[in-house]
Amino acid sequence: MHKTYLNWSSGKDAMLALHKLQNTANCPDLLVSTINSEVDRVSMHGLPISLLEKQTEALQMKLHQIPLNGQLSLTEYNKVMHKEVTDLLHQGYKTSVFGDILLEDLKAYREKEFKGSGIQTLFPLWKKNTSKLIKEFIELGYKAIVVCTNSAYLDDDFCGRIIDHNFLKDLPDNVDPCGENGEFHTFVFDGSLFKNPVTFEVLGKVQKNYQANEDEKDDCFKEEKQSWDHQFCFLDIT
């Protein structure tokens, strides 16, 4: 049996990919999320696992979590993910969906890692206009809050804001409307596919700095090599 899973970040792009695949042959029946096992939060987004689980429950979807050490190198990451992909293939999954939109190097990296795995990659949002996509997300009635901002692009005031038309108007000109260059990340808590809104409480904000390991500076991410050290603002949410 041909089955499809969606690589689930808990954010707006993954949500829009899931929405667009409804009632198609590639409609996912499983959400797969990578978790920073050192802090028990969704990788990059910093969302607590408890809210991830409430979100997927509200979406009435199955969830598979992949725990990863926060200091994992790219080589080690690839080994873990190869095993996970093999296990999913044995469970009948033949398609892996990603919410990527514009990053050529990232798409090429994913396709390279999946080549010969027996699982095909699918990018339902690929090369779509990001300004139109985020407006479509809002007009479909989905609700999302910004849970992480890259301080190189956005002031901390943007962290914790709801994604709406006012948010889009306030974005600096050098920031992609979907945050496709990693400018911001979101948590979707309500919308047409939710059986109920996910309730949460904001406790505050936390600033963190990250530096990539040397072996993470792989050619597949060559466009990002100039700015590996980044300060981020995370929303402390529960």
User: Interior CA angle at 154 toward 151 and 160, to 5°?
Assistant: 95
In this prediction, residue 1 carries a pLDDT of: 64
pLDDT(175) > 90? yes
pLDDT band at 43 (very low <50, low <70, confident <90, very high): confident
- Domain ranges in the chain? 3-122, 130-237
Q: What pLDDT, on the 0 to 100 scale, is given for residue 153?
A: 96
What CA–CA distance (Å, rounded) separates 235 from 238? 10
Candidate CATH numbers 3.40.1010.20, 3.40.1280.10, 3.40.50.620, 3.30.70.20; the one for domain 3-122:
3.40.50.620
Q: Are 174 and 205 in contact (CB under 8 A)?
A: no
User: Band of the pLDDT at 40, cuts 50, 70, 90?
Assistant: confident
- How many residues in total does the chain contain? 238
Residue 204 contacts residue 234 (beta carbons within 8 Å): no
pTM, to two decimals: 0.90
Say if residue 221's pLDDT is above 60: no
Q: Please determine, for residue 177, whether its predicted confidence score (pLDDT) is greater than 90.
A: yes
What integer is the mean pLDDT of 174-195? 97
Confidence band, pLDDT 50/70/90 cuts, at residue 3? very high
- Using one digit for the tens of pLDDT, what is the confidence trace for 112-130? 999 999 999 999 999 999 9
**Dist. CA 114–CA 17, nearest whole Å:** 19
CA-to-CA distance for 24 and 150, rounded, in angstroms? 35
